[in-house]
Structures are given as structure tokens and as C-alpha cells.
Structure 1
Amino acid sequence: MATFTCIQVFLMAGMLITGSIVTLCKKAQNDCVVNGYKSKDHSFNHPWFQTWMMCSAQILCLIGLHIQRRRKLQEYRKEMTQNEVQNVTPKIEIGPPVHARMCQWILIVPTCCSLISVSLTGTGLLYVDASIMLMLKGSVIIFAGIFSVLFLKRKLKLTHWLGMVIVILGLVLAGCSSVFKSQGHKTIGGKTVTGIILVIGAQVVTGGQIILEEAVLKKRNLQSLHVVGMKGIYGFTLMSFIVLPVLYFLPGDNVHGSYENSVDALYQISNSIQLFMLCLLYIVSVAFYNYFAMAVVRSLTAVHSTLIDACRTILVWGVGLTIYYGFDKNFGEPFDKSYGILQIDGFLCLVIGTAIYKQLLDIRNFVPCRRDSENKNEQTDSFHQDSIQVTVNSDDYDDDENTKLLK
């Protein structure tokens, strides 16, 4: 049984809590009805402005990068000082830590993908519940897997395709639960379908971004805080001087007739202390979530990060129900008694499909086969050989398990 240190537990808890706060704050901002710029009270429906706030939060990761680099330099100087005092010559000459230059122009491309993906997801969140949005985001493994085959010429195994099929089933169930819940309201039902399409469309962009970063950035060996921080600077610049001004003059169905009125967003934030605190909490949570997510992947594995994201869906769903039924019906989300079971089934399929795709579930346990080597035929030998190869190539098992399987 795997054991975790106190630091690892703290990192996982931090990622779970801050990630949940990010989603809940974003949805709560949308539910706020505040007086805006020369207009009556209306909802805070500014998804592109929320993307601008996200970029502002990502810039804060550069502070963590500076602290990290300074700590490494101090450790190097301390080690060199101890060697000089003890008159010890190190066996291997190690120079001072070398860091990549700060400006990496190649990051502009994934930054643009991130801006589009986050904004589309934020727009979809206006029309669907937060828990449904998180479930639909699980579709990213489908597009990432397909793009890896098309562009990276990677061969997916049976477990990958099986996981993707189960994830698709979960997406269908989760989407149907949201659509059926809005039956009887043509306007709401149409917006729900639009929201689902936007969130899934955002995952198409995210899947392409993942493949792009793997193909381009992996060779540069850049630190995660460096990548996130620079994407925040590039995104903040693009949003401030290009995207938001252009969207301000584009026609839309908002109160002021523009597609994204950032002036109205600033007025609403200044007119409501509640909305201001939600925005501030959102920015801080995004910064810490990025740090915790990268720390979990570095300290543990990407699989733990995937499991925490699944738990985040449960936590967001539970908190949303608690807020709606226990505190304020203007926030949170209700549970639909008629079609809520479809949402539960969809979530289970998404978790199972993701676990199979990540090879957390060994499908050999569900295949009836004899373990007696004397009675194995050639097909059974081939099956076990393929299964062992899948397990050995996975990062989800430790060395002891791999050794046992090979023996």
C-alpha cells in the first residue's frame, strides 16, 4: 500500500481545495446580479474578462520561480562554502545552476490556445452547472489521444481506446442529464446545448495545446513555473491590448450591445464587495492551484493529479448542493430528481474511463484466463505478453510491482 509524506498530503489537499475554489468562484461570479456601467442590475457574464483575471494570477507564478531559482543558487553557494572550509574537492565539478532565458517567444502559441480554451469554457459555464462543466472537461483525453495518433504518430493500445469509449459514454450521460433537466424551457434548453458544445469545443483546443507543448516545449526542458508565468504575461498583454478592446467594439446581446464590455465588468466589481471578494479569491486560488498542480506532478505522478481532479468534481458538486439547499438558492446548483441519476452514472463512467486510459485499472483482472503456464496456448501467451508490456510501460506502478509481474 502506498504511503505519502506529510508534504505530499499537503500538496494534494492544496490542489484539491484551490482547484475547487477556482471553479466555485467562477460560477458564483456568474450568478452575481450587480448594477453595472449605466445599466440596471444584471448578471456578471464576462467570461473573457475572467480569462484576463486568470492571466493576472498566472503572472504571480513568476514570484515562485524567482524564489525557486534563488533557493537553488543559495544551496550551491552553501555547498561550495562547505567544501572550501573542509578543504574537500568534489568528485564531480558542478557549476552554478544555469537557467533558461526568461522570454520564450514559442510560448505565445500555447498561450493563444489557452486563452481560447479558457474563454470558451467560461462562456459555457454561463449555461451549465459547475459540476457538469468539470465532467465535460474530461473529454480532453479523447482529443489528446486522437491528436497524438495523427500528429505524433503514436500508437494507442487497447486500454486507451477502451477508456476513450467509456469516457464518451459518460459525456453522453452527463450531457443528457443537463439537457433533460432544462426541458420545458426552450430558451434555457437551447443555451444548455450551446454551453455543452462550447465546453467540449474548448477541450478540442486544449487537446491540441497538450500535443503542441509536448512536441515543442519538452525538448527545451523549461520549468513549469517559468512556463505558466510567461504564459500569464503573454496572455495578460494580448488580452489587455488586443482581445478585450476588439471584443468591446464587436456587437453582442449584452446590456450594452457589445460582445464583451470590460468597463461594465469593472463597474460591477466596484459596486459589489461580494463580487470583488470573489474575484480576488479567484485570482489567488488560480495562482496557488497552478503551483500545487505542478508540485503534485513533480512530487508524485500525473496519475495522482488526474485522481485529484476527479475528486474535485465530487467536492464542487457537493458544495454546490450544500450552498443551494442550505444557504442561498441564488448560488450553487439543485439536484434534479428525475435525471440526476444520469449525472451520477455519467460521472462514474468518466472516472472509470479515465482510470482505464491512465492504466490505473488492469483490464486483465476482468478477463477469464488460466494462470497455469503448462496449459497456456499461444494466444494466451501473446495476451499475457502484451499485458505485461502495457504494465511495464506504465508509470503508474512502482519497480517492485514491475519485477513481480516480469517474474
Structure 2
Amino acid sequence: MAAFTCVQIFLMIGMLVTGSINTLSKKAQNDCSAEGYKSDKHSFDHPWFQTWIMFIGETLCLIGLCLHRRRELKEYRKQVTENDALMVQPHIEVGPPVHAKILQWVVIVPTCCDLVGTSLAGIGLLYVDASVWQMLRGSIIIFAGILSKIFLKRKLKLSHWLGMLIVMIGLVLVGCSSVFKSQSHKTNNSKALLGILLIMGSQIVSASQMVIEEVFLKKRNLHPLHVVGLEGTYGFLLMSFVMLPAMYFIPKDGAGDSYENSVDALYQIYNSPRLLVFCLLYLGSIAFYNYFGLAVTRSLTAVHRTLIDACRTMMVWGVDLIIYYAFDKNFGEPFDSTFGILQIDGFLFLMIGTAMYNQLIDLRNFVPCCTFQSKEMKDVQHDSSYHGNIQDVSYSEDESDNENTKLLKGKR
């Protein structure tokens, strides 16, 4: 196994850190309290406004796209210059890089899915801990697999189905730990259940976004940074001129308050420097997480990205515990000694199911008959089995790369 280079280690650490900051800073915003538009101190309860911040962060990916295109053009010119200096006839197979137009209106369709999915997940985060939220987002594997089977006619192997089943068991355990925890603390466990349902619903929308992106954007050969940047731009415009103004005039619980008061959110951010820092961390982490995620997939493999996402869940949970017990009990989350074991078990099932879905676990190592058969047929079908294994491996890597490249926001 080849050792990682310093650049690859930096990219992996960058993806892990920025992805964890993404989740932690978003939850920290919900835990903040500040004076708002009516000058009374209250919690920062603005999930749709957080979606607006997210789209600003995604829009910054267009800067990364411009830098990427500039580097491609610079490399091409350098190659032409070197050939001219050596008095050699230029022989460049590809030619100068051809880039798609910046504006691609078809991206509006997945943008709407991104808007709804992220906002639902943000509302769900109000009612559950950050670690539970991060774990429940693993349910996207189930919905993405089923939707790709139905609409993309993708062939799912036994490892995929078993992986989804194990992930489902893990989700049930994590969800039960959250509901039982809220019940034991004599809080409204119906809100915890509502949060779980909202998060699961958001992952259905996000999985639909993956399928739509593959159907509409695959033939256009758009760079992932291009897609994310456009989704951020269109989402920012939709939220600024349609969603947020409309929600301002929708009453909330008949109390006269707005369902989403963005003016109140801006006042709270202005009155609380801590809340401002969390919002800026959330905005910046989204942009950098998308970049690091893409760089890891290209420099290494999608398998490494899957492992980093799993480590991200552990890091979010660990940092939340450290913040609560070592720094400030108003932030982070405590460990429930009664039902915390359910969350640990659920996390292990999620890890195993995700690894199996991404074919990091070879089922043939656990089935004796497969091992025996492979030894008996080794001399008879050596050539055919060899080529067949190569095809299986390449197919799984291509499929995994395709899905992980389109899901650049670990957003969330």
C-alpha cells in the first residue's frame, strides 16, 4: 500500500475538519440566544435563514471553478510553449480546454431540491442533537439506492441491499435513543420524533436531487464545482427574492410572529458577536468542504471519502461531548448513560452498513462455500474469473465516484 503524500493528508484533514465545523457551527447557532427585532432575548430559530447562508457558501465555489479553469488553461499554454522551445511540432491530443457556459438553467431543478432538503434538515436539527442529526443523514444511502434502482435502472448487488438493511437497523437504534433520551429528561419527545421524521424526509429529497443531477447533468459534463456554485447562486436568488419575503408574511402559531423573520435573524447576528462567528464559520466551512471533498475524490478515491465521512460523524460527537463537559454546558451535548448505548450501537450498524454498501467489506470472506468454490475453480476458470473481478471492481469504483462526486455538500 502506497504512502499518502503530504498534499493528500492535508486534503483529508481539511475535509474532515471543515465537514465537522459545518455541522457543529450550524447546531451552535441554534443554541445561541440574542436580542432580536423586538429587543427580547430568544434563541436563534431560523432554519430557512441558515439555508440562505448555505447558498452563499455554495456560491463561493464559482471562485474555485474560475481558478480551476485558469489552471487548466495555464497548463495547456505551458505545454505549447515547451514544444515550441524544443522546436518540436506540437502534438496535443485534447487541444485547448473547452468550458461550458457559466449559466445552466437546468440546474434550477436540483437547486429546488437542495433548498427543500437542507431546510427540512435544518428544522430537524432544532429538535435533536448534532450527533444524532449527523448519523440520521446516513439514511441517504437507502433512498439513493432505491431511487437509482427505480429511475436509473442501476443494478444493485447483494452487498448494496445488505448494506441498506444494516443502515436501516442503525437508524432505528439512533432514532430510539433520541426519543427515549428526550422522554427520560421529561422533555417533549414528540418534538424529537418530529425532528427525526424531518431529517429522514430531507434525505429523501436529497437522494432525489442526486438522481435528478445524474439524469439532467451527466450528458452536459459539468464540473462539480460548477454545479455546486450554480446551485448556490440560484438558491441565493430564490431565497432572497421569493422564499424569505413570502415567509415573513406567513404567521406562526397564530401568535402574530412570522414563520421566518429574516430581519429578526439579522438583528440577532448583529447583537451577538458569538452568533456572527458561528454564521461565518458555517458559511466558510460549506465552501471549503465542497472543495476538499472534490479534491479527495480526485486525488484518492471515493472509498477514502466515505471513510472520512464516517470519521466526521465520530468527530462531531466527540467534540460535542468535550464542549459540553469541558467548556460550556449551553453548547454541545451530554452523554446519556441510560440510552447512550443505543446510539453507540446504532452508529456501529451505520458504519458497517455504509462500508458494505460501498463494498469495503467483501462478503466472499464470510461465506465458506464461496471460498471453497473459488479454490476448486481456480485452475479451470483462472482467466475468466480474473477479468470478471477486474470488471466488478471498476464498476463499483465508477458508481461510487459518480454518487460521491455529485454529493459534494456534506452538508449538512
Deviation at 1:133, TM superposition (A): 0.5
Q: Does the alignment pair 1:393 with 2:400?
A: no
For residues 8-407 of structure 1, the aligned pairs below 5 Å read 8-92=8-92, 94-184=94-184, 188-253=188-253, 257-369=257-369, 370-371=371-372, 388=389, 390-391=392-393, 393-395=395-397
Which amino acid counterpart does residue 135 of structure 1 have in structure 2? Answer: M
Change (3 A) 1:134 1:333: same
Which consecutive segments of 4 or more residues in structure 1 shift more than 4 A?
184-187, 372-376, 384-392
Mapped to 2, the partners of 1:387 and 1:165 lie a distance apart of: 27
Which amino acid counterpart does residue 102 of structure 2 have in structure 1? Answer: M
Most deviating of 32-41 and 333-342: 32-41
Most deviating of 179-188 and 195-204: 179-188
Change (3 A) 1:107 1:322: same
Mapped to 2, the partners of 1:117 and 1:155 lie a distance apart of: 26
- SS of the equivalent of 1:71 reads helix
8 A Cα contact 1:39 1:255, kept in partner:
no
Which amino acid counterpart does residue 273 of structure 1 have in structure 2? Answer: P
Mapped to 2, the partners of 1:390 and 1:87 lie a distance apart of: 45
- SS of the equivalent of 1:263 reads helix
Mapped to 2, the partners of 1:347 and 1:243 lie a distance apart of: 35
Mapped to 1, the partners of 2:374 and 2:172 lie a distance apart of: 42
Deviation at 1:182, TM superposition (A): 0.8
Which amino acid counterpart does residue 75 of structure 1 have in structure 2? Answer: E
8 A Cα contact 2:57 2:286, kept in partner:
yes
Deviation at 1:390, TM superposition (A): 4.4
Mapped to 2, the partners of 1:91 and 1:52 lie a distance apart of: 48
Mapped to 2, the partners of 1:121 and 1:58 lie a distance apart of: 17
Measured against aligned partners, the alpha-carbon deviations of 1:127-186 in whole angstroms (never above 9, x if no partner) come to 000110111000001001110111112221111110000000000000000000011566
- SS of the equivalent of 2:368 reads coil
Taking only aligned residues, the RMSD between alpha carbons, in angstroms, comes to 2.3
8 A Cα contact 2:251 2:258, kept in partner:
yes
Deviation at 1:254, TM superposition (A): 9.4
Mapped to 1, the partners of 2:136 and 2:314 lie a distance apart of: 14
Deviation at 1:392, TM superposition (A): 5.6
Aligned residues: 392
8 A Cα contact 2:84 2:90, kept in partner:
no
- SS of the equivalent of 1:132 reads helix
Mapped to 1, the partners of 2:256 and 2:309 lie a distance apart of: 37
Which amino acid counterpart does residue 239 of structure 1 have in structure 2? Answer: M
Mapped to 1, the partners of 2:248 and 2:317 lie a distance apart of: 34
Which amino acid counterpart does residue 43 of structure 2 have in structure 1? Answer: S
- SS of the equivalent of 1:84 reads helix
- SS of the equivalent of 2:212 reads helix
Change (3 A) 1:165 1:387: farther
Aligned to 2:406: none
Measured against aligned partners, the alpha-carbon deviations of 1:325-352 in whole angstroms (never above 9, x if no partner) come to 0111000000000000000000000010
Runs of 5+ unmatched residues, structure 2: 399-412
Change (3 A) 1:94 1:385: closer
Mapped to 2, the partners of 1:248 and 1:66 lie a distance apart of: 36
Change (3 A) 1:139 1:207: same
8 A Cα contact 1:111 1:231, kept in partner:
yes
Deviation at 1:95, TM superposition (A): 2.9
Deviation at 1:3, TM superposition (A): 2.5
Which amino acid counterpart does residue 393 of structure 1 have in structure 2? Answer: Y
Runs of 5+ unmatched residues, structure 1: 397-407
Mapped to 2, the partners of 1:277 and 1:211 lie a distance apart of: 35
Which amino acid counterpart does residue 372 of structure 2 have in structure 1? Answer: R
Mapped to 2, the partners of 1:44 and 1:255 lie a distance apart of: 18
Which amino acid counterpart does residue 234 of structure 1 have in structure 2? Answer: Y
